[in-house]
């Protein structure tokens, strides 16, 4: 809980920084999610009802309340990617990772997510793995990208 306290302190233990605090906590969780314990601790420290904090973290798409994969593989399903073939990209990923959207691979590495537009329309169809955006995808390129993550090329 020390890490949690440190982050809360850095944001002045103030309610208006709740979202910023939660984003940082999720980043250090290792599971791309917010552990229940941490959420309770934040609610207590900020003197907020936990029902309200839960309301905030379930409102925003980026937060997870259950553990997710080390890497979130997000496939855009909005207009610009849709008309340039995001359906195929999704199929390729479902086949490669052997999971459906919303699921996590058994080794806890990847969680496949369908997401809204993240501004990569000029290189559509696009996917986002963690912070990185990949576009102009072909089947080979996609395979290479996924492999590079599995081989640990993006650690750190």
Q: Do β-strands 132-134 and 110-115 pair in parallel, antiparallel, or remain unpaired?
A: unpaired
When the beta carbons of 18 and 73 are compared against another protein, the nearer one is 18
When the beta carbons of 121 and 150 are compared against another protein, the nearer one is 121
- The answer to whether 33 touches 66, Cβ cutoff 8 Å, is yes
Q: Residue 74 pairs with which residues in a beta bridge?
A: 113, 128
When the beta carbons of 14 and 98 are compared against another protein, the nearer one is 14
Interacting residues with another protein between 105 and 134 (CB under 8 A): 116-124, 128, 131-132
When the beta carbons of 4 and 18 are compared against another protein, the nearer one is 18
| DSSP code per residue over 65-131 | SS---SEEEEEE-SHHHHTTTHHHHHHHHHHHHT--TT-B-TTS-EEEEEE---S-GGG-S-EEETT
Q: Is 155 in the site for another protein (CB under 8 A)?
A: no
Q: Is 12 in the site for another protein (CB under 8 A)?
A: no
Binding region for another protein (CB under 8 A):
14-20, 22-23, 36, 39, 43, 49-56, 58-63, 65, 77-80, 82-84, 116-124, 128, 131-132
């Amino acid at each position: 809980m020390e890490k949690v306290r440190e982050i809360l302190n850095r944001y002045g233990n103030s309610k208006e920084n709740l979202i910023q605090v939660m984003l940082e906590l999720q980043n250090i969780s290792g599971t791309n999610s917010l552990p229940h314990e941490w959420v309770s601790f934040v609610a207590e420290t900020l003197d907020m009802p936990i029902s309200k904090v839960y309301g905030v973290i379930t409102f925003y798409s980026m937060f997870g309340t259950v553990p997710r994969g080390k890497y979130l593989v997000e496939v855009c399903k909005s207009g610009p990617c849709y008309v340039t073939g995001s359906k195929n990209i999704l199929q390729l990923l479902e086949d490669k990772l052997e999971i459906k959207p919303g699921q996590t691979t058994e080794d806890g590495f990847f969680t496949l997510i369908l997401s809204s537009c993240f501004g990569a329309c000029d290189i559509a169809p696009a996917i986002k793995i963690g912070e990185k955006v990949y576009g102009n995808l072909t089947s080979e390129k996609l395979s290479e990208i996924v492999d590079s993550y599995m081989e640990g090329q993006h650690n750190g």
